[in-house]
Amino acid sequence: MLSSAFAFGSADEAAAAFRGEADAYIYGRWGNPSVEDLEAKVAALEGAEAAVATSSGMAAVTGALLSRLASGDHVVAPLAFYGESARLMRERLPRFGIETTFVDATSVDAYLAALRPTTRLVYAESPANPTLGITDLEALAQLTRSRGVPLVVDNTFATPYCQNPLALGADLVVHSMTKALGGHGDAIGGVVAGSRVMTEPVRDLVVKGLGGVLAPFNAFLIARGIRTLALRQERACASALTLAQRLSGHPAVASVHYPGLSSHPGHAVARRQMRAFGSLLAFELAGGLEAGKRLLGAVQLVSHAVSLGDVRSLVTHPASTTASTMPADLRARAKIIDGLVRLSVGIEDVEDLWADLSAAL
Ligand SMILES: *Cc1c(COP(=O)(O)O)cnc(C)c1O
């Protein structure tokens, strides 16, 4: 509902609303029917008690962290994951006395080794940007539960169609709704989902306090997108598997990273924890950086753009774009090599996509 403030029926009703005794809408930063409708949809999709929508995925990630952490606290997070989330933990949180250890997230032992008495949050993203690494979320959740440390999982790549981290034992799920939930490349938004005691502090801090409120029109667009999430994901995941298999056999391609391939090191775990393997894949060109740039210039149906989970297929070159702010040594440890190309598969006909990719290759 496109309204910033809501009329009260009486002065008594207004007073009761401010005391929190009446269930009334007051002001758009504190609540909006369209936003609440979307929150209920995402909570249902993730099997969560509650969800809180935010102005962007990064507002959700920031909220998941800042609502729980204080100076002196320690976080364990992946080496390879969404670039801006990594920057938040690497560059911004240290200013507030919050330190992060980055580990090989495909190894639960690596998480275990990094835990400290001051560790207050463990963070995972699976499949992870941009190398499609898989974290065993059930095993990691067992570890974090035994230590009483909350586990936050970014489920943007998998979507609730493929994976439900809360059912695997995670405490909080974050999404960039800009991606597959919205699905049409027209609205920025984010969400956190989990128990009410985990999500409400995010609403209080990020939405009400810091102002990271989702616009109601974006909530409407994203909720409309969610109506076709299952259909879009069914097509995109099937096409991604087909393209991954065909790329694996192409002479110009050195390797393909897709959890649905039996050659992927996380395949067995992915089979256990995912219903389908997602719409994202990455591949390394035998010709390295220059071959990657040529490919991006040659595709015609596939768009050369960042973002993912769109109805349109999108291709990017992480080393020179989204991962370019990472220090080179960290980028190397995260295995984001120069020839790596990331493909977000859309809902186009898979034969049209293959014709475009193979012509460009
Ligand atoms: C895009 C993305 C984000 C950030 O979301 P925005 O909506 O762009 O702020 C966080 N995590 C992952 C995995 C993403 O793909």
User: Quick one: how many helices (H) and strands (E) in the chain?
Assistant: 14, 12
Ligand 1 within 6 A of 188 CB? yes
| Residue tagged active-site, from 41, 68, 120, 179 | 179
Query: Is it true that domain 11-226 has CATH number 3.40.1180.10?
Result: no
| 29 catalytic per annotation | yes
* Assigned token pair, 77: 């997070």
Read off φ and ψ for residue 120, nearest 5 degrees.
Answer: -115, -5
CB 252 within 8 A of CB 291: yes
Write the CA distances from 294 to 96, 252, 303, 341, integer angstroms: 42, 12, 14, 11
Residue nearest to atom 7 of ligand 1 (CA): 57
Between the CA of 310 and the centroid of ligand 1 the distance, in Å, is 13
Give, using CA atoms, the residue closest to atom 8 of ligand 1: 57
CATH 3.90.1150.10 fits 229-360, yes or no: yes
Cβ 191 vs Cβ 59: under 8 Å: no
Look at residue 217 in the predicted model and tell me its pLDDT: 98
Amino acid, single-letter form, for residue 292: G
Low-confidence residues in the chain, pLDDT < 70: none
User: Is the CB of residue 8 less than 8 Å from the CB of residue 15?
Assistant: no
* Residue with CA closest to ligand 1 atom 11: 82
Largest Cα–Cα separation, the chain: 74
Q: What is the structure's pLDDT at 314?
A: 97
pLDDT tens track for 37-64: 999 999 999 999 999 999 999 999 999 9
Instruction: Write down the domain spans for the chain.
Output: 11-226, 229-360
